[in-house]
Amino acid sequence: MPGGFEIQLWWLLALPLFFVFGWVAARIDIKHLVRESRTLPRSYFKGLNFLLNEQPDKAIEAFIEAAKIDPETIELHFALGNLFRRRGEVDRAIRVHQNLIERSNDVEGQLGQLSDEQRLHALSELGQDYLKAGLLDHAEDIFVKLRGTQRDEEALRFLLEIYQQGKDWPRSIEIARSLPEHAGHLWQKEIANFHCELAASALLHGQLVEAHHHLDAALAVNRKCVRATLLQGEVALAENDTAAAIEFWKRIEQQSPVYLSLVAPKLLEAFRKEGREEAGMRLLRGWFAEHPSLDLLDTVYHSEFQSAGPEAAYRLVRDELRRNPTLLGLDKFYEAQTQIAPQEQRADLELVKNLIHTHTRRVARYRCDSCGFKARQFYWRCPACGGWETYLPKRTEEFDLQP
């Protein structure tokens, strides 16, 4: 194989040259790095060392000293402002970023001019400072100025957050539709919920026609929007059309059955108003058999207890406990057993039930799929991370039992 031998020999001859070139390039880079590092104040490196050792207070003091020694360190000012904002010292962050913006307005060049990109960066950071401080009007003014610049998409995202915090749902819809991902169908869920917020407000004020309009718009954007369907039933009840409310709520099983527990009590009450409580109970039992959940168990259990008595409720929860052994199910089991037990045994059963109930408080919470925030009540929007429909109406114990 003479050809193969020649190629190998060529590589052997070229390999030392590659090492020489690499060594020369490394020497040049090292010299450049050393030259650059000599121009930085010693306090800058002290600050970095404090950061690496997780001592943010000392790091901030060192960075402030470095910024005073060399006011040209613009990137250092950005880092300092971010540190202040993360620590909650928003006033200091605002002063740092305002100082940078004043440089860009210094026509005589005495403070060191900022490039256009640095000026936009400083404006964005200042807007985030105002947002963190809750000064929504100031933040809005800045991000509106950033529209149409290189930071247009960033400005849109922060404006969306501002309008959501201010519950300005029409503007939230407008901004969400302007975001680039809207064409990729990534914002339908949010836009549908903005329409639902408007519909809920209209319903509260008796503006039923407007409520219908927003719910139709929500379902046009996201046909699987359970919240819109649930509110359609509420509007139908406000119009005294119980049968229509029932039909709306029954659609949720096709949209997303995990949300059935939210509508189960309302649905059963609507069936009672229609004089068809038994039909409502059959529907709920069917839902529970197909889509079991702890919240649905709670509704079916209490309904069974009221309509058929404690014996029937006991059998229901006993069978469910065999199918899905949970601490919350056990709590219901002892509650039912206490009702049917002889009088002399009830005190002991009550003691066990209270002990179990104390422990169920830890697992009887809802959890955000996005950030993990836990809460005792259900939210359409997570109070911690602001995500829409990141809570499922399932208790944390149910998530823990999933493989």
Q: Which residues are annotated as a binding site for Fe cation?
A: 368, 371, 382, 385
Please state, in angstroms and rounded to a whole number, the distance separating the CA atoms of residues 141 and 118. Answer: 19
Calculate helix-pair angle for 136-145, 116-133, nearest 10 degrees.
Answer: 160
- 376: which residues sit within 8 A by CB, 6+ positions away? 364, 365, 366
- Nearest alpha carbon to residue 42 among 66, 72, 75: 66
Per-residue tokens: 192 = 């549908």
Cα of first residue to Cα of last residue in the chain, in angstroms, is: 58
- Nearest alpha carbon to residue 159 among 148, 173, 144, 178: 144
Alpha-carbon radius of gyration of the chain: 32
Per-residue tokens: 162 = 């501002």
Q: How many angstroms separate the Cα of 374 from the Cα of each of 259, 357, 359, 399?
A: 18, 18, 16, 12
| Beta carbons within 10 angstroms of residue 133's beta carbon | 16
Residues comprising the binding site? 368, 371, 382, 385
Please state, in angstroms and rounded to a whole number, the distance separating the CA atoms of residues 269 and 276. Answer: 10
Give residue for tokens 């114990």.
397
Secondary structure in 3-state letters for 5-56: HHHHHHHHHHHHHHHHHHHHHHHHHHHHHHHHHHCCCHHHHHHHHHHHCCCH
Per-residue tokens: 24 = 């020369």
Please state, in angstroms and rounded to a whole number, the distance separating the CA atoms of residues 339 and 178. Answer: 59
In sequence order, what are the beta bridge partners of 366?
A: 375, 395
Please state, in angstroms and rounded to a whole number, the distance separating the CA atoms of residues 316 and 336. Answer: 10
Give pairs for 36-41: CB < 8 Å, separation 24+: 40/66, 40/70, 40/73, 41/65, 41/66, 41/69, 41/70, 41/73
Q: How many angstroms separate the Cα of 364 from the Cα of each of 75, 214, 225, 326, 359?
A: 48, 33, 25, 11, 9
- Residue 367, CA atoms < 13 Å, CB-side half-sphere: 13
